[in-house]
Amino acid sequence: MVRRTRIISDPADFVPLLRIFLFAEYRKLLEELSDGWKTEDELRAKLGEDVKEGLHILMRSGLLESRWRMPEPGKKPEREYHTSYSNVIANFQCSLKEFADLVDVAYMDDKQFEYLEKPIMDLISAGRNSLNVVSKTLDLSIVSLKAIVKRSHKMCIRGQKIEMVKKS
């Protein structure tokens, strides 16, 4: 078992963790990966469901490591996964309103979330991708804006800019 601790110093980094523990299938996937290195096929056989989305979410949250498994001669190598951390320390400060916004963003349904996500994506498409500009334009706190972007599968934060995620 991994014995590393994830230190969360940005309140927005708390949102992906809350999302992971909201869904039982992601929680089971995380628990399974804490036992050792496993491929996507092994996880699918063990959990009996598609794990691709769960792996993607855990990877974007920074909770997974991956490596290539050396195959038997004549077979293709496979990517295998394992948890990066076994402990979490949350060390951040924000107002209660901002914390309530974090929890709201983490637990709101997808339809409501799309309503928050769309104006941000529209601004990015128009070339206005600075955290400060988007925050002021949409009248959101920086913490709330970062929380929305951290939850989104379509956007990411690079420095002080919000970028669209490139499909791979």
Looking at the structure, tell me whether residues 72 and 9 fall in a common domain.
Answer: yes
Q: Read off the pLDDT band of 123 (50, 70, 90).
A: very high
Q: Among the three residues 90, 125, 144, which one is the final residue of a domain in this structure? A: 90
Query: Average pLDDT in the 8-34 region?
Result: 90
Q: Could you give the number of structural domains in the chain?
A: 2
Supply the pLDDT for residue 138.
94
**CATH number of the structural domain spanning residue 119:** 1.10.10
Predicted model pTM: 0.83
Looking at the structure, tell me whether residues 80 and 116 fall in a common domain.
Answer: no
Supply the pLDDT for residue 59.
87
Supply the pLDDT for residue 96.
94
Query: Average pLDDT in the 10-20 region?
Result: 90
Q: Among the three residues 39, 74, 90, which one is the final residue of a domain in this structure? A: 90
Q: Is the pLDDT score of 167 beyond 80?
A: no
Supply the pLDDT for residue 165.
87
Q: Among the three residues 59, 90, 121, which one is the final residue of a domain in this structure? A: 90
Supply the pLDDT for residue 1.
58
Per residue in 82-98, pLDDT (tens digit) is 998 888 899 999 999 99
Q: Is the pLDDT score of 168 beyond 60?
A: no
Q: Is the pLDDT score of 57 beyond 80?
A: yes
Q: Note down the domain range covering 77.
A: 5-90
**CA end-to-end distance (rounded Å), the chain:** 30
